[in-house]
Amino acid sequence: MTPCAARIAVLVTIALCARLAAADDMEGNAVFLPMPAGEALTVRNPLGAVRLRGWERPEVRIVAEKRARSGGLLDRLKVRVNLEGGRLDVTAGVYLADDTWHPVPLDGARINLTIDAPREMTVLATTFSGEIDASGFRSGARLASEQGEIRAADITGPVDTRSLDGKQSMQGIHGRLAMSGVAGDIDLESIDGETVDATVYRGQITAREVRAPVVRLRTTVGTILFVGPLRAGGRYELRAHDGDLRLVLRPSPFRLLARARAVRNQFALDGVEERPGLLRGQFNGGGASLELVSANGEIRLDKAP
């Protein structure tokens, strides 16, 4: 970065922080930053929610809404911005009693961020208890929250999400999708990337109209529901330890290997091998590969109405 660019980055940071500190409620007030060739947007907000929208303008708009239990605390809430070339970092934090600034959660204080940015920017966002809502980007996203809900829609490129305790919802993702969580349901709809890999320890996974060539859905405590078509030649690995698997499928060729205490199947299979805890066979000549395992539950294959 040139010396001139470095000075611009510092001035932007000071101007935004000063403006945020001057208002009790930033809702409706925006800061605009030119971004003709945006590369990456990184947002860290331990104090609240993050809402990200991709748009066609060569600029970034940041709207910050601050709330606090007292005016003194409100004045200590800050949003820092660092702009270096095509990379923009936005971080929310608070000045503590020793006058040092820290990006940490604090009882009685909240900053919610709404950011519009060029669609081609890669998005990285993290929160503590605040939700993340991202849509409209074309270079992928990485989203993580400790306790907040994560939602993403209309995103092209690789998407990676992580949650400790919160629901995750994906819709209209066109790229590789990797999701993991400890507690919280996972909802997938209209996904057509190269792979879909979703894992949660405790929670239900619901997948509708997922058309990736490789689909891996795993839960330890919870059920898995898959609704929609099977992709020709696709590979589907669904596993639950303490929970059921249910697939509602439009009739199309597949090969089945199912292991569970009970397997209920509405499809007329050929080459059947069946014994307690196992069902193997193929439907309509074979095609997509289904590997289904439920250690302590049942598996159901139903025909879509």
Looking at the domain assignment, is residue 150 inside a domain? Answer: no
Whether residue 210 lies inside any domain: the answer is yes
Q: How far is CA 267 from CA 93, 207, 223, 254, 302, in A?
A: 57, 20, 21, 10, 7
Least confident range from 21-35, 84-98, 151-165, 179-193: namely 21-35
Decide if 49 contacts 16 (C-beta within 8 A): no
Which pLDDT does position 29 carry in this prediction?
63
Residues 175 and 100 in one domain: no
Domain count for the chain: 2
- 81 and 174 inside one domain: no
Separation between Cα atoms, residue 210 and residue 217, nearest integer Å: 11
5 domain-assigned: yes
pLDDT surpassing 50 at residue 13:
no
Q: Please answer whether residues 264 and 246 qualify as being in contact, where contact means their C-beta atoms are separated by less than 8 angstroms.
A: no
By the 8 A CB rule, do 304 and 267 touch?
no
Say whether both 65 and 195 belong to one domain: no
pLDDT: is 123 or 95 the higher one? 123
pLDDT for residue 58 is more than 60:
yes
Domain match, 90 and 188 both: no
Domain check: are 196 and 97 in the same one? Answer: no
Domain hosting residue 262, numbered range: 167-305
* pLDDT per position as a tens digit, 109-151: 999 999 999 999 999 999 999 999 999 999 999 999 999 999 9
Question: Is 172 found in the same domain as 55?
Answer: no
pLDDT in tens, 206-232: 999 999 999 999 999 999 999 999 999
Domain boundary among 99, 124, 149: 124
Task: Compute the mean pLDDT over every residue in the chain, rounded to the nearest whole number.
Answer: 90
281 with 180, same domain: the answer is yes
**Same domain, yes or no: 92 and 204:** no
The answer to whether residues 161 and 200 touch, using CB atoms and an 8 Å cutoff, is no
Do residues 303 and 180 share a domain?
yes
Decide if 153 is inside a domain.
no
> What is the C-alpha R_g of the chain?
23
Residue 218 lies in a domain: yes
Task: Decide if 160 is inside a domain.
Answer: no
Do 184 and 287 sit in the same domain of this protein? yes
Domain boundary (104, 124, 144) is at 124
Whether 171 and 304 map to the same domain: the answer is yes
Q: pLDDT digits over 286-303, tens only?
A: 889 999 999 999 999 999
| 144 part of a folded domain | no
* Dihedral sign computed on CA atoms, order 49, 143, 204, 173: positive
Of the residues 124, 149, 180, the one at which a domain ends: 124
Whether residue 285 lies inside any domain: the answer is: yes
Residues 303 and 172 in one domain: yes
Checking if the pLDDT of 26 tops 60, the result is no
Ranges 8-12, 64-68, 144-148, 158-162: which has the least confidence: 8-12
